[in-house]
Amino acid sequence: MINSLRAAIERFRFDRRIFFLVYLLLGLPYLLLTGPFRAPDERNHFFRSYEISELRFHPFRFSEGVVGDNLPAGLSRLSEALGLHNEHRIEPSQMEAARKVQLQPQQREFAEFSTAIYSPLAYAPSAISIAVGRLFGAAPLALVYFARWANLLAGSWLIACALSYAGYARLPALLVALFPMTVSQVATVTADAMSFALAFLWLSLVMETAVGGMGEVTLKRKVALVLLALALSQLRPPYPLLGLLVLLVPFRRFGKIGAVLALVVIGASLLPAAGWNAVAAPLYEKPQNGLRVEPREQLQWVGEHPVLFLRVVKLDLEKRSVDFWQQLVGTLGWLNIALPGWIHAGFAAALVITTFFGAKHPPWPSWQQRAVLGAVVLLGIAAIEFMLYLTFNGVGSLYIIGVQGRYFTALAFVAAFACSNNRLSLPRLNLASTIGCLAFVVIAHCGAWICLARASGKL
């Protein structure tokens, strides 16, 4: 019996088709229970997706200072019909009004959306799905769900592929990918769906290449790394910096052109990113928080007061570390639907357990590679704090606002690869811990679905 269970678990751990199906089934309730525009900035992401679906890639700044584009009037009518987006409950009358809204593609009006600065790549699945929906004459409300389905399908498949390459870190990486917040973001119209999925796949492929053997990697793998690096370049910072992790791969694995290929990969992740950010910079919208936000002056201030800035970062992490963890695991809706404490504690315990119960004889990274991954996590946290300090806080502010826990999701995935080991590995304990953690994940998601259903008035 135990051998049969172990064989079933091993098959589950390595079959990407099963990963895909499981992720799809877990994401479906989030897709259905989260009201339209009830995910963070979903309205703005949807508007950007619609714009791209019409092959319009260049929003513009209106005379009043806001950024957006001329879109069908029905999209704005839908937003108005759905009421306040940060209130998860949608009244039946609001949904009825939303269903009656027609697209009116010929009647255009300016629509503001702050997501104008994001590259089209992050919206490719949702934009393609919206374009298909328009061909069938779908109304605006239906197009929201077309876009959600596309994100869930594409995100689930990419994450399934990532986990199939995760090797020694598969179990803790799986838990990060199955955080309720991660799944809910993949199942709604957000830029995070593709950002998480592509970052996970990149890291898994790089680490498998780095520790997977001594021989030269195939041409297919080299091309895949370059293409994924290009994809990273079109995600918002700091994702493009993950391209530097290619340096973890011994150059001999790339053959005679090892150093050249590494430089090509790094260039593919950083140079297009710099180009896109330069193009999108004029579209940057200053936050409406009443502060004088001037990134250049803020950068100069940090250069003049580096020690004080580090104290500000330290204070922010000390004060909000628990909040960040809860948001990372899952604070749903517009960060106003708290999950029970046992879900956050349970995921923490599951991560600790699976970190120490790795497979017995997989290829493991060297301590130097682990040290680099750990440094990436720490520098990534500092980079996120730094970027939000520049772009969302007043000059010389003694606190940092705007940082959210889900921004650290990719870094949590990196941490899984940095820390995973088999120090406590025993066959029966491995089997028991795997079954227990997977059972907890299912129960935790059931708890999250109940919270969403209650917030929406369905329970």
Distance CA 356, CA 345 (A): 17
Please give the torsion angle defined by the CA atoms of residues 375, 381, 387 and 389, in that order, rounded to the nearest 10 degrees: -130
Would residue 215 be called left, alpha or beta, if left means φ above 0 and alpha means ψ between -120 and 50 degrees?
Answer: beta
The H-or-E segment that residue 183 falls in is helix 180-186
- Cα 400 to Cα 170, 230, 385, 389: the distances in Å are 34, 31, 7, 6
Q: Residue 22 belongs to what domain range?
A: 2-455
Preceding peptide of 238 cis, ω within 30°: yes
Please give the torsion angle defined by the CA atoms of residues 182, 186, 188 and 191, in that order, rounded to the nearest 10 degrees: 100
CB 34 within 8 A of CB 81: no
pLDDT digits (tens, 9 = 90+) for 107-138: 999 999 889 889 999 999 999 999 999 999 99
Query: What pLDDT, on a 0 to 100 scale, did the predictor assign at position 303?
Result: 93
CB 145 within 8 A of CB 100: no
Q: How crowded is the C-beta side of 208, counted as CA atoms within 13 Å?
A: 20
**Cα–Cα nearest to 140, from 95, 175, 184:** 95
Interhelix angle 140-164/124-135, rounded to 10 degrees, is: 140
Query: What pLDDT, on a 0 to 100 scale, did the predictor assign at position 433?
Result: 79
Query: What pLDDT, on a 0 to 100 scale, did the predictor assign at position 124?
Result: 96
pLDDT digits (tens, 9 = 90+) for 423-434: 776 666 677 778
Q: Which tokens sit at 21?
A: 């199906």
Query: What pLDDT, on a 0 to 100 scale, did the predictor assign at position 283?
Result: 79
CB 166 within 8 A of CB 174: yes
Distance CA 93, CA 300 (A): 52
Distance CA 105, CA 80 (A): 17
Encoded amino acid at 202, one letter: W
Q: Extract the residue ranges of the chain whose pLDDT is less than 50.
A: 12
Cite the DSSP H helix spans in 393-426: 409-419
Rounded (5°) CA angle 111-65-126: 35
* Radius of gyration over every alpha carbon of the chain, rounded to an integer in angstroms: 22
pLDDT digits (tens, 9 = 90+) for 27-43: 999 999 999 999 999 99
Instruction: Give the DSSP letter of residue 114.
Output: G
CB 111 within 8 A of CB 10: no
**Whole-prediction pTM value?**
0.93
Distance CA 446, CA 456 (A): 15
Relative to beta strand 337-338, strand 331-332 is antiparallel
Distance CA 84, CA 324 (A): 25
Helix, strand or coil, per DSSP, at residue 63: coil
Helix, strand or coil, per DSSP, at residue 67: strand
CB 398 within 8 A of CB 188: no
Dihedrals phi, psi of 438, to nearest 5 degrees: -65, -40
- How far does the chain reach from its first CA to its final CA, in angstroms? 40
Encoded amino acid at 409, one letter: T
Dihedrals phi, psi of 366, to nearest 5 degrees: -75, 170
Query: What pLDDT, on a 0 to 100 scale, did the predictor assign at position 256?
Result: 87
Distance CA 51, CA 124 (A): 11
Domain count, the chain: 1
pLDDT digits (tens, 9 = 90+) for 11-27: 545 578 888 999 999 99
Output the DSSP codes for 94-133: HHHHHHH----TTSEEEEE-GGGGS-GGGGHHHHHHHHHH
**Cα–Cα nearest to 144, from 37, 226, 256:** 37
Distance CA 295, CA 311 (A): 19
Q: How crowded is the C-beta side of 258, counted as CA atoms within 13 Å?
A: 15
Instruction: Give the DSSP letter of residue 241.
Output: G
Distance CA 175, CA 369 (A): 22
